[in-house]
Amino acid sequence: MQDQTLEYARSLDKGDELAGFRERFYLQPGTIYMDGNSLGLMSRDAEAAALNALNDWKTLGIEGWMGGNPPWFYLAEELGRMQTDLVGAKPEELVVAGSNTINLHNLVATFFQPEGKRTKILTDDLNFPSDHYALQSQLLLKGLDPAEHLVVVKSRDGRTISEDDLIAAMTDEIALVFLPVVLYRSGQLLDVERLTREAHARGILIGFDGCHSVGAVPHRLSEWGVDFAMWCNYKYLNGGPGATAGLYVNEKHFGTRPGLSGWFGYRKDRQFDMVYDFEGAESAGAWQIGTTHLLSSAPLLGSLKIFQEAGIDRLRAKSLRMTDYLMELIDALPESYGYSIGNPREADRRGGHVALEHEEAIRICKALKGHGIIPDFRFPNVIRLAPVALYNTFEEVWQTVEALKQIIDNKEYEKFPKDREVVA
């Protein structure tokens, strides 16, 4: 067990090679922000990039499409290139466009082609609800009943999903597999490489939701042969609420017509020919549907610059140290406090947050806010705590656990109702 003193936490911060990035973010005085896995904080770099986009609009008008800095016409592809190291893909396999669920609809509409016995989609029962809604909708659009054609692998413990169970469910009736890289509640990190290999060995296409992993965990999507993926850019990547989303398509699928074709997916050099026969870009850019959302994309120019400087491997190493430290401090608490760890312990099986379980989780989250600590709650009993490598400190981790102790010692949670907030 490591030293549990405040002095020890401060010594860890003194040795932190990434500490300098913290001052590039807007930190609210008196607040410890542990919710970067839901919405990342604003950086000065993102703010400057957004203001630059507004200035281009103000001073250039329509000329910004080719004269902006960078040109708006190529912004989606440029942002994709800036994410290559984060997700381990080739620049042409990436584009930043649309929103998470719109991108998922487009990708599933493209790659789910039921034929013969293969008429089913495989997913898990711990995936984010929006993904289930999209998969159900795509089945309905093809005249298939989700109750029969959406195969949902059940969790054995309500927290994690067994890769063995997922692979066992990859039968000759499965046409497509879609899974999260990291489970949003428990933080379990799935073995993407193994699952992709096993799906392909059975002739099944496979895609992944990286919303809770991109920016926190290194990926090697191209090397692993993943067919497609999508993710948000407003959590660990700090692109702002509603930031334009990320999309990956393996180059082996270039030339496939997107399921939801749109004007901005046309090949760039001929887009303004205005012809009716669709000729998609020879890149992931083909999966764009509409005009680039400039004001929702621009902050990423600044945010991704920070990631390029910091490097995802260094960020992952610090994230693991911070979550290890958080779990060790919680483990040191007496059992009578009622806290338990609901995420996998192994470094290669967990993402960027700790899933702290307690029967009074709803009220403890409210009490934490009274201490100036921002967590989030996930039904039924999870307090998600995400010490983010770019802007959180080890001292903040220590202070968070001290607050968790005080909330139980002083029964502070009893002051709050058991109802969750509208936005948890």
DSSP for 301-324, please give it: HHHHHHHHHH-HHHHHHHHHHHHH
Say if residue 101 carries a ligand binding annotation. Answer: yes
Phi–psi pair at 232, nearest 5 degrees: -90, 160
3-state secondary structure at position 66? helix
pLDDT in tens, the chain (424 residues): 568 999 999 999 999 999 999 999 999 999 999 999 999 999 999 999 999 999 999 999 999 999 999 999 999 999 999 999 999 999 999 999 999 999 999 999 999 999 999 999 999 999 999 999 999 999 999 999 999 999 999 999 999 999 999 999 999 999 999 999 999 999 999 999 999 999 999 999 999 999 999 999 999 999 999 999 999 999 999 999 999 999 999 999 999 999 999 999 999 999 999 999 999 999 999 999 999 999 999 999 999 999 999 999 999 999 999 999 999 999 999 999 999 999 999 999 999 999 999 999 999 999 999 999 999 999 999 999 999 999 999 999 999 999 999 999 999 999 999 887 877 7
Is 171 assigned a ligand-binding role in the annotation? Answer: no
> Rounded to whole angstroms, how far apart are CA atoms 311 and 18?
10
Show which residues are catalytic: 128, 209, 234-235, 384
Determine the Cα–Cα distance for residues 203 and 37; give it in Å rounded to an integer. Answer: 34
- Which token pair is 351? 């993402």
pLDDT of 162: 98
Domains and CATH numbers, the chain: 6-30+311-415 (3.90.1150.10), 48-309 (3.40.640.10)
Would you state the structure tokens that stand for residue 155, as one six-digit string?
């969790």
pLDDT tens, position by position, 261-283: 999 999 999 999 999 999 999 99
What pLDDT does residue 423 have? Answer: 75
The Cα–Cα gap between 358 and 338 comes to: 6
Angle at 41 between CA 40 and CA 44, to 5 degrees: 130
For the stretch 75-95, pLDDT in tens is 999 999 999 999 999 999 999
For residues 277 and 93, what is the distance between their CA atoms, to the nearest angstrom?
23
Q: What is the percent of the chain with per-residue pLDDT over 70, rounded to a whole number?
A: 100
| pTM greater than the 0.85 cutoff | yes
**65 marked ligand binding residue:** no
Q: What is the pLDDT of residue 422?
A: 76
| Phi-psi domain of 274 (left: phi exceeds 0; alpha: psi -120 through 50; beta: other) | left
Is residue 6 within 8 A of residue 204, CB to CB? The reply is no
User: In this predicted structure, what is the pLDDT of residue 43?
Assistant: 98
Annotated binding-site residue? 291:
yes
- Give the pLDDT score at 2: 64
Three-class SS of residue 102?
Answer: helix
Of 121, 170, 165, the residue nearest 146 (C-alpha): 121
Look at residues 356, 354, 376 and name the one whose alpha carbon lies nearest to residue 365. 376
The annotation status of 377 as a binding-site residue, yes or no, is: no
User: 131 labelled as ligand-binding?
Assistant: yes
DSSP assigned state of 35: B
- The answer to whether the annotation marks 417 as part of a ligand binding site is no
Strand partners, 312: none
206 contact partners, CB below 8 Å, separation of at least 6:
176, 177, 178, 179, 195, 196, 199, 200, 226, 227
Q: Is residue 129 part of an annotated ligand binding site?
A: yes
In the sheet that 174-180 helps form, which strands lie side by side, from edge to edge? 94-96, 246-249, 228-231, 205-209, 174-180, 120-124, 150-153
**How many angstroms separate the CA atoms of 300 and 8, rounded?**
35
